[in-house]
Chain A
């Protein structure tokens, strides 16, 4: 009955297990290493950061003081530069989620319905490789394409279609393009499984009952994909609102979103307490967004089944 070497020993146990209770051994110890790691290096640090945000902001000092104040938060919500950054972050992430869905759904559909194993594997490798590659490398590619001296403007100027470079980068447009590039694979992967699980006969049945291809898609396939759509949108929104590297590179520090403010406060001004307060606001904003999406997901999939 103990941990033994090979399959032969399975018989050595001999007797039938007496009850189902044996199937429910004490398992809590399995979660201990992960839970402990998360407690020490996740819960405590984040809690400390929350704590720090209630301290008075003193440039260049990181230590806790017992006098608590709401000054940092008052400042965030009364100064336009900060509360506008919150709204900008939310707005950009919502746009990115919508665009990623628009581009991601068809690709996921094609991958789910491609039956040729070779072509299927190739598509999966392409999507996964694009996702795996780190964001900074991909932003390099986009910057070479979208810059004022970049390939797109270079080509358009060379061919005489424009006389001055188009502003494709260092603005909100550039940030949205960058975020879509980063988040698209996550959208596709959230959708493939769920589209694949929709049995083709459901669509065929609708077609045989006289539905057009479009009707069959919008009344059968799309509603059944809803859990995947919501999960993907949620993931893309959370990834977008948290992104520092895309606004920093594609926005050229001209599109100021929350993660940029955090970095500026800490690395440039050295006001740790105020930086911590912005981090807390970003954290809570993304948690609220996740909660709203989660509610929507539960309601939609609940209506479906």
Chain B
């Protein structure tokens, strides 16, 4: 409380502005989705559920929502497993190769999504392995961009981890795997959850990567909204957005109950 009083007034003022930059567009999407007119204008024309109804009866947006959800779930499970394993190797290995490998795993974040998507599409087409514009091909792309987030989060918590705890378990006779499972895994569990939530977020909202990987009959929610915004700009996209906003806020509230959000970023 004492510290809160010490926050400079300028910082508080700019923070309010920053929060407005972050949140006002989201609020506008909600209003646009609940708006009675054909387009949200000033002054607004009143509220209605017509665009929500349009979304719930729109085959394009509903199936896009499902595709996004399924792909995000699958990408999260796979990248959490392989990412956590890799993070353990990266922090435990004494090999000179490990730091290089760590940087390598982060590359898909640095590499532009459009380039990565294009590279995958060209690869799928030229090798003829039948993944071009398929669900599996889409999933492969999503794993590449979600894995770095799991690796980064779990690695960060393992680096600060006190190895002597595990050594104590070992000296009491636990095998390497048992000691890891009973001591280390318990302690880094919040980081693993945080990493998998990141993975889900990144996948569910992924657009750039999917630019070359989706097909008219295989659209993710961001892709369907983008198409609608470029060619028609209907509020149906905003109504679909409301359902995505609800999903995201709910997942955040649940996460804040499971783990201490601030702890994740303290390291």
Interface string of B151-177 (1 = CB under 8 A from A): 100000000000100110111111111
Q: Verify if A229 is at the interface (C-beta below 8 Å from B).
A: no
Residue of B32, B111, B226 near A286 (CB, 8 A) is: B111
Is there contact, CB below 8 Å, between A106 and B14?
A: yes
* CA of A238 to CA of B111, assembled, Å: 8
Please tell me if the beta carbons of A10 and B169 are within 8 angstroms of each other in the complex. Answer: yes
Proximity string of chain A (56-95) to chain B, C-beta cutoff 8 Å, 1 when within and 0 when not: 0000001110000000000000000000000000000000
Residues A138 and B25 in contact, CB atoms below 8 Å apart:
yes
Chain B nearest Cβ from A184, distance in angstroms: 6
Q: Which of B111-159 contact A (CB under 8 A)?
A: 111-116, 118-120, 122-123, 125-126, 140-141, 143-144, 147, 151
- Whether the Cβ atoms of A193 and B29 lie closer than 8 Å is no
Q: How many A-B residue pairs have CB under 8 A?
A: 332
Interface contact B201-A132, CB-CB below 8 Å: yes
A102–B27 Cα distance when bound, in Å, is: 23
A286 touches B42 (CB 8 A): no
Complex contact A30–B171 (CB within 8 A): no
A-B contact pairs, 11 of them (CB 8 A): A10-B172, A16-B171, A23-B167, A37-B144, A48-B123, A48-B126, A128-B261, A135-B222, A196-B262, A276-B118, A283-B111
- List the interface of chain B (C-beta within 8 A of A): 1, 3-4, 6-8, 10-12, 14-15, 17-19, 21-29, 32, 39-43, 81-83, 85-86, 88-90, 92-95, 101, 104-105, 107-116, 118-120, 122-123, 125-126, 140-141, 143-144, 147, 151, 163, 166-167, 169-178, 182, 201, 204-208, 211-212, 221-222, 225-226, 229-230, 233, 237-238, 241, 244-245, 248-249, 251-253, 256, 261-262, 265-267
Contacts A31-B89, A37-B144, A116-B4 known; A238 to B110 CB distance under 8 Å? yes
Given contacts A4-B175, A7-B182, contact A141 B244 (CB under 8 A): no
Contact with B along A99-121 (1 / 0, CB 8 A): 00011101101110111100011
Interface centre among B83, B90, B174, B238 (most CB of A within 10 A): B174
Whether a CB of chain B sits under 8 angstroms from the CB of A98 is: no
Assess whether B207 is in contact with A136, with CB atoms less than 8 Å apart: yes
Chain A residues 171 to 219 lying within 8 A of chain B, measured CB to CB, are 180-181, 184-185, 188-189, 192-193, 196-197, 200, 213, 217
Beyond A41-B144, A141-B27, A154-B41, whether A109 also contacts B256 by CB under 8 A is: no
Answer yes or no: A151 CB below 8 A from chain B CBs.
Answer: yes
In this assembly, does A52 line the interface, its C-beta being within 8 Å of a C-beta of chain B?
yes
A141 touches B15 (CB 8 A): no
